[in-house]
Amino acid sequence: MGPSLPTLITGALLLALPITLVLSGLLGWRYRNAVRRLMALAPRPADADAAPPTDRLPTSGRQAQLPPRGRERELTRALAGLSLLIGFTSAALYLPVHFGSLSPLRLLITGLVMATPGLVLQAQVLRWSFQKQALVLAGWGLVLLLLVRLASTAFGLEQLGWIVPQGLVPLIVLGILFGIPRLRALAPYLFPPVFLLVLMAVLGQQLLANLVASGPGGGLGVLVSLAGAWGTFALFTLVPIAIALLPAHALTAALGRLYRVKVFSDLSYLFGASWFLILLLQVIPGWNSAASGGDPRDLRPLLPLLAWLWIPVFFARWSRLSRATASADPPTLLVLRVFRRSGPVGWLFDHVVQRWRVNGPVLLISAADLASRTIEPHELVAFLEGRLRDRYILEAEDLRRQLAAIDARPDHDGRYRVTDFCCFASSWQQTLDALLLRATSVLMDLRGFSEQNQGCLYELGRISQASHLAAVVVLADGRTDRAVAEQALGARPGSPPVHWLEAPKQRLDAVDGLLEGLLVPRRP
């Protein structure tokens, strides 16, 4: 008798994790190189003499907005409540099957343990530092151990083996899958198709093992004589993968389409996919015990999976609440920077730009430094299918079409989307001018700027002429040639307010003040 189906699924899940990370890293590297190569091209558009778009959005979004911390806290509290609800619901379904009773103390401890992976999700949403994550998780673990110790008479220590599969394993998996910032936009969407392919390979290998166990002879003996032992093993591994390639591609394309039409957002996908994986890892050990006990039809250990249904219910309700209070003309942030290595600007994107999204849309010009952070599911599909160049703006009509597609409505999680514009070297200036007309505030990262950065000099000159902007925040450090930058900005009548923020460190300490400075107009 071979391994049970739950065991095979567990093996496929754990094997798919490192494969997903390697594949995400490889695709991210190739994507950044492709973006770098395309943005250096300068093809001449057929309509080079055509006038670029000059229309602009309404300007009511320039009024002072609710500070981002207030909106963040609302969403954070709601997501924390969702994690607790899922944890206690799954515990209520788990305990009667595995322990035969449902006492309040058991429910409290088990519910908190099962909700623990929600802390990791909160950390990902809030972009906590690794140190803060470790500190909070260590404190949470000590509280759980204290509760268990105090309840040891009713909840024997010999029964604590379930804590590892219920809490620790999902934490490790989530940390691996979502803990690398540069891969966070790729790995969650690649994991389902990778898991499907790995599972098919595992099932094929198990089929081969069963045929070998049943005795030599028949078709298998002929196959081994023709292909050899390793050839037969490769055949039973690769053929199932080949069969699953089309469904895996269809799954990836479906995710891209659903995201594009806003059936789900990046946040709801993160919570939905993560919690499904968490619950699956939590129930598989009990399901495996039931299958190994001689009754593979006993599906009661899978009942905690029903707790996942709280997620669509939550986001459906949150969508109605957030859209009812959303501004008809939200403030729009344009992000500009010195194109360079992704470290400093990557942290800025994760901790500042992402937090802006609770207030309004974000616009930026795509480059290799942020490419693997801003790629969206449908854009990933286009890249895999060799259609990346189709996203690049060449003609004036391309720019008009992409400007019209800017989504000023929030997702059902209440956050707005980041729209990146892919430009050739011959089209980025026209694109910048059009984006400035649609922005209400500008965040410009000039850390490391010098007069050799001619593109930034052009951007500074155009910013100084954008009198409609409510606020401009410019980041600088010790390497910033501020005199050259200020000369490019000039001191023209009607120029927008510019606030310089010294940011010598990669990580900014005054993120809240930076965001509020972008939302509320202020004079330098």
From first to last of the 524 residues of the chain, give the pLDDT tens digit.
567 788 888 889 889 988 999 999 999 999 999 999 999 888 877 665 566 666 654 444 444 444 555 677 788 888 889 999 999 999 899 888 877 777 787 888 888 888 887 877 777 766 676 677 778 777 777 777 777 676 655 545 445 555 555 556 666 777 677 777 778 888 889 999 999 999 999 999 988 888 887 766 667 777 777 777 888 888 889 999 999 999 999 999 999 999 998 888 988 898 888 888 888 888 887 777 765 555 666 778 889 999 999 999 999 888 887 777 777 788 899 999 988 655 678 878 887 888 888 888 999 999 988 888 889 898 999 999 999 999 999 988 999 999 998 888 888 888 899 999 999 998 999 999 999 999 999 999 998 898 888 999 999 999 999 988 988 999 888 889 999 999 988 877 778 888 888 876 555 556 767 777 787 654 44
- In total, how many domains does the chain have? 1
- Contact of 390 with 396, CB cutoff 8 Å: no
Domain residues for 403? Answer: 327-519
Please give the pLDDT value at position 227: 76
CATH of the domain at 398: 3.40.50
95 within domain boundaries? no
* φ, ψ (nearest 5 deg) of residue 349: -65, -45
Please give the pLDDT value at position 309: 96
* Angle at 174 (CA atoms; ends 312, 92), nearest 5 degrees: 55
419 within domain boundaries? yes
430 within domain boundaries? yes
- Contact of 467 with 497, CB cutoff 8 Å: no
Please give the pLDDT value at position 48: 58
345 within domain boundaries? yes
380 within domain boundaries? yes
- Contact of 16 with 281, CB cutoff 8 Å: no
Please give the pLDDT value at position 68: 53
- Contact of 359 with 230, CB cutoff 8 Å: no
Instruction: Look at residues 334, 336, 333 and name the one whose alpha carbon lies nearest to residue 459.
Output: 336
Please give the pLDDT value at position 164: 57
Partners of 441 in the beta sheet? 333, 471
Please give the pLDDT value at position 412: 86
Dihedral sign, Cα of residue 423, residue 426, residue 427, residue 432: positive
Please count the CA atoms within 13 angstroms of the CA of 372 that sit on its side-chain side: 25
355 within domain boundaries? yes
101 within domain boundaries? no
Query: Cα 28 from chain centroid?
Result: 14
* φ, ψ (nearest 5 deg) of residue 441: -140, 155
How many residues does this entry show for the chain?
A: 524
Report the distance separating Cα 29 and Cα 24, nearest Å. 8
477 within domain boundaries? yes
